[in-house]
Amino acid sequence: MQVKITFFFIAIIACFCFDNVFAQSDSTFVVNAKSLKDTLAPYSPKKAIVRSAILPGWGQVTNKKIWKLPLVYGALGTTTYLFFRNIKQYNEAKNAYILATDNDPSNDNQIPQPYYSVKNQPERIRVFRNAVRQNVDYSVVFFVLFWGLNVVDAAVDAHLKTFDVNDKLSFQFKAGFSPIAHTNGLSLVMRIK
């Protein structure tokens, strides 16, 4: 069955959305139903994986799970913020440590305020600098971990998109006598209608 579409703008927008779906005849566009069915194929896990790997959240949008975008960008944004904050603290602590250990009292007024009170204890500044450097590393690890989790979520969601969850499939716990084991107990019964 062919459906004629006379609205020019709708046809143009649809041409951008579906490849090889419309065929032009005179001044109208005709929808090829077979090509439309092929274009609306089931969810592709490979497509979701590649899209999420390129841009976080794109795989979730592909799977029509847009509600997951704030979670993805919240996790990645938090780790990005922590990375830049820790880099700034690391640079400040590094400079304070250099100024505190140079044995030149004329530049002690250049030590930043939080570190000035411990200028006579450069070891404390060094320990803090090393701890902040470790936090920088952790924020990078968590960023990569959350990005990977984003890709895994998109892949699993695309795989399970066509999973059958109708009422005909069910698991039940059933108490009673088991003729196989000749005992009373609790059984897990799977029923397929």
To which H or E segment does residue 15 belong? helix 8-17
Indicate whether 108 pLDDT > 80: no
Per-residue pLDDT band at 119 (split at 50, 70, 90) = low
Closest CA to 145 of 90, 85, 65, 72: 72
Residues 100-129 have a mean pLDDT of 72
Domain ranges for the chain = 1-41, 43-160
- Residues constituting the chain: 193
The span from the CA of 166 to the CA of 150, in Å, is 28
pTM given for the model: 0.62
